[in-house]
Amino acid sequence: MSSPQTLTPQGAEILCVGTELLLGEIANTNAQYLAAELAKLGIPHYYQTVVGDNETRIHQALEVACQRSSLLLITGGLGPTPDDLTHAALASFFGVEMVEHPQLWEEILRKYGQRGLVPSPSNRKQAFLPRGAAILPNPLGSACGLIWQPRPNLHVLTFPGVPQEMQRMWQETAVPYLRSLGWGKEVFYSRVLRYWGIPESTLAERVAPWLAGENPTVAPYASQGEVRLRVTGRAPTREAAEALIAPVVEQILQISGEDYFGSDEATLASVVGELLLQRRQTLAVAESCTGGLLGQLVTGIPGSSRYFLGGIVAYDNRFKEQLLRVDPKTLQQHGAVSEPVAAQMALGAKQVFGSDWALSITGIAGPEGGTAAKPVGLVYLGLAYPEGKVEVVEYRLGSLRGREGVRWWSAQAALDCLRRRLLRYPLSGGSPEPKLEEQADLGAGR
């Protein structure tokens, strides 16, 4: 490989090739991985493109990318089948011929031989690269990539679409190569502050003074009911970047209130678990419309057996009566989706399992079953306290979220309800402070 010219400042672009990506058959995890890796190296990254297995459209994508980016990372389309066109499309786009690298064919024969297999004649195309391109080795598979500088201010790296292969090639070859071009002298470091129970617009208004900053930057974004603030700093080292964002994070947390529940990889379930452990208290759940999702979220946290005693999924009313001791008269008078039934479900779970706290969920997930009085998205959450009292919160989530959306929101909202109560519950026991007022209608802006 000849000495590369240093990258110009336009930044990187990720081009993912594969019709299966456009059809939604597989998730584009390669773009997510490479984006995070570029941030670690401090390489500006402004564009991502997905294109199908079509040479004309690959050329069109290349035409645009080459005008706006100095580093092009391409994944996919390196296999042996006729629709694997990436390297041939690169060669025709830049006007060079494909040339065979005998050592690549020998490597393919060796890898197949180790598994007792013989490669098909079509595998031989994987030994061809555009003239002038260097090999980007693939230790795991038969599809090697390339490292190429087809123009003075453009560097192209290609990777197979198989994530494990791409990641290994990135770490072992691509990263050292990019560092040799002068990248990696600065790094990006981010903290993600996570919120539940506040609209994105409201949070953005609260942190407006920090949104215009250039280094560090603060950016809000919403995801499945949760709102996040990403605080990012750029500096020569991770330690320096952490120090840069620390005062901004501290100032934001001072005004965040209880809508903030954790940072980075924290979840409502993990935070609730930590709070229960701090208080040496236990939890049980009773579920109807969520069908066990709440228990799944709780038990998805390692070590949850230290505070989670169990749950009951009582979908049919008979089992609400038999297992959770819900009064049949209450069910008949108020219906399964009602405040009294949610309260009795929570108390029943607490009594059955002997837990300190118990959560219950009953609602109408849809898409059918709603009425004018009880529309789809109506959910009641019951919370039984250690001292035996119980409270119920009503949510009207609306039908636009869909069945799975209602179930997800209900389970998360139940965890958030318990989280807020635990924050007010003293570590040494005794009665909690007065509860917060609940906003019952989550249908808009959440």
In angstroms, the CA 25 to CA 41 distance is 30
Q: Which pLDDT value is given to residue 5?
A: 56
Q: What are phi and psi of 262, to 5 degrees?
A: 170, 175
Q: What percent of the chain has pLDDT over 70?
A: 93
**pLDDT-derived band at 186, boundaries 50, 70, 90:** confident
- Identify the CA nearest to 13 among candidates 40, 49, 67: 49
Q: Which pLDDT value is given to residue 427?
A: 80
Is a pLDDT exceeding 80 seen at residue 385? yes
Instruction: Go through 12-29 and write b for each residue having 16 or more CB atoms within 10 A of its CB, e for each that does not.
Output: bbbbbbbeebeeeeeebe
User: What are the pLDDT digits (tens) for 216-259?
Assistant: 999 999 988 899 999 999 898 889 999 999 999 999 999 999 99
9, containing H or E segment:
none
Is a pLDDT exceeding 50 seen at residue 440? no
**pLDDT-derived band at 115, boundaries 50, 70, 90:** confident
Q: Which pLDDT value is given to residue 188?
A: 85
Is a pLDDT exceeding 90 seen at residue 46? yes
Q: Which pLDDT value is given to residue 437?
A: 37
**pLDDT-derived band at 426, boundaries 50, 70, 90:** confident
Q: What does the pLDDT average to over 23-32?
A: 95
Is a pLDDT exceeding 90 seen at residue 399? no
Is a pLDDT exceeding 80 seen at residue 10? no
Q: What does the pLDDT average to over 78-91?
A: 96
Residue with tokens 């003074």: 209
Q: Which residues pair with 39 in a beta bridge?
A: none
**pLDDT-derived band at 433, boundaries 50, 70, 90:** very low
- Identify the CA nearest to 123 among candidates 98, 104, 149, 103: 104
Is a pLDDT exceeding 60 seen at residue 3? no
Q: Which pLDDT value is given to residue 443?
A: 33
Q: What does the pLDDT average to over 197-216?
A: 93
Q: Which pLDDT value is given to residue 238?
A: 87
Judged by phi (left if over 0) then psi (alpha if -120 to 50, else beta), residue 443 lies in: alpha
Is a pLDDT exceeding 70 seen at residue 154? yes
Which domains does the chain possess? 12-180 (3.40.980.10), 187-263 (3.30.70.2860), 268-424 (3.90.950.20)
The overall pTM is greater than 0.85 = no
Q: What percent of the chain has pLDDT over 90?
A: 84
In angstroms, the CA 435 to CA 413 distance is 15
Q: Copy the structure tokens of residue 101.
A: 């690298």
Is a pLDDT exceeding 90 seen at residue 93? yes
373, containing H or E segment:
none
Long-range CB pairs of 131-134, under 8 A, 24+ apart, other chains included:
131/91, 131/96, 131/97, 131/98, 131/99, 132/96, 133/90, 134/1
Contact between residue 229 and residue 195 where contact means Cβ atoms under 8 Å apart: yes
In angstroms, the CA 142 to CA 165 distance is 10
In angstroms, the CA 329 to CA 333 distance is 6
User: What are the pLDDT digits (tens) for 350-384?
Assistant: 999 999 999 999 999 999 999 999 999 999 999 99
Is a pLDDT exceeding 60 seen at residue 160? yes
Contact between residue 188 and residue 43 where contact means Cβ atoms under 8 Å apart: no
DSSP code, position 141: S
